[in-house]
Amino acid sequence: MALEKITRVAGRAVSVPGNDIDTDRIIPARYLKCVTFDGLGEFLFYDVRKNADGSDKPHPLNEARHKGATILLSGANFGCGSSREHAPQALQKYGMRGVVAEGFAEIFHGNSTALGMPCVTASREDIARIAAAVEADPDTEVAIDLVSMTISFGGQSVAATLRESARDALVHGRWDPIGELIEGAARAAKVAGGLRYMSA
């Protein structure tokens, strides 16, 4: 299974500031009722983006100038809470290609990486600089480069960090591990055979 080598994602960005943005906020539980992930993009950040009658609330994603943004900027501990993959799926289906935040919750980070959506960490000051550039000109291109581990925007460049296992998986096109896991099936069966509780 040939996967895309993800070395760089770039596009317009939108800032959704705040710390501890949980996956219930990214996609409320009532939208998890589905047997496929198709169409989840519509419900991204639903309760903070929409009123009960479906009209828009003030939210960065609702602003015309940020339409078409593909890079999300946020704060610390992004994606905490529920393990629902619906959260990164909703981001991706909405059109996001990468996330820059001060930090990520672990399950969310793993889920995003397995979907080929890089989630990189940058310092608060640097994220504020990127957000300021985007605020001044929403058409600013923000590029996450996974080779140089930098985020460039409007002629500036700041450092990004990403766990090496995730970076490696993305840039070498092995972010979906299923192929490698299947290759290890015989070894897995052997390890299982040595564990009494796993015998049939």
User: Three-class SS of residue 41?
Assistant: helix
Smaller CB separation from another protein, 4 or 139 = 4
Binding site for another protein (CB under 8 A): 18-20, 22, 24-25, 28-30, 32-37, 47-48, 52, 76-77, 80-86, 88-89, 103, 105-107, 110-111, 114-115, 163-166, 168-169, 172, 174, 176-178, 180-182, 184-185, 187-188, 191-192, 195-198, 200
Closest approach of another protein to the CB of residue 86, in Å: 8
Closest approach of another protein to the CB of residue 1, in Å: 8
Smaller CB separation from another protein, 102 or 141 = 102
Smaller CB separation from another protein, 52 or 136 = 52
Q: What are phi and psi of 21, to 5 degrees?
A: -75, 115
| Crossing angle of the two packed helices 106-114 and 86-94, in degrees rounded to 10 | 50
Question: Which is nearest to 26 in space by CA: 9, 49, 54, 53?
Answer: 49
Closest approach of another protein to the CB of residue 111, in Å: 4
Smaller CB separation from another protein, 57 or 67 = 57
Q: How far apart are CA 87 and CA 45, in angstroms?
A: 9
Q: How far apart are CA 101 and CA 20, in angstroms?
A: 11
Take residue 113 and report the two structure tokens written for it. 């990486």
Amino acid at 89: Q
Closest approach of another protein to the CB of residue 2, in Å: 14
3-class secondary structure per residue, 77-107: CECECCCCCHHHHHHHHHCCCEEEECCECHH
Smaller CB separation from another protein, 99 or 142 = 99
Closest approach of another protein to the CB of residue 18, in Å: 7
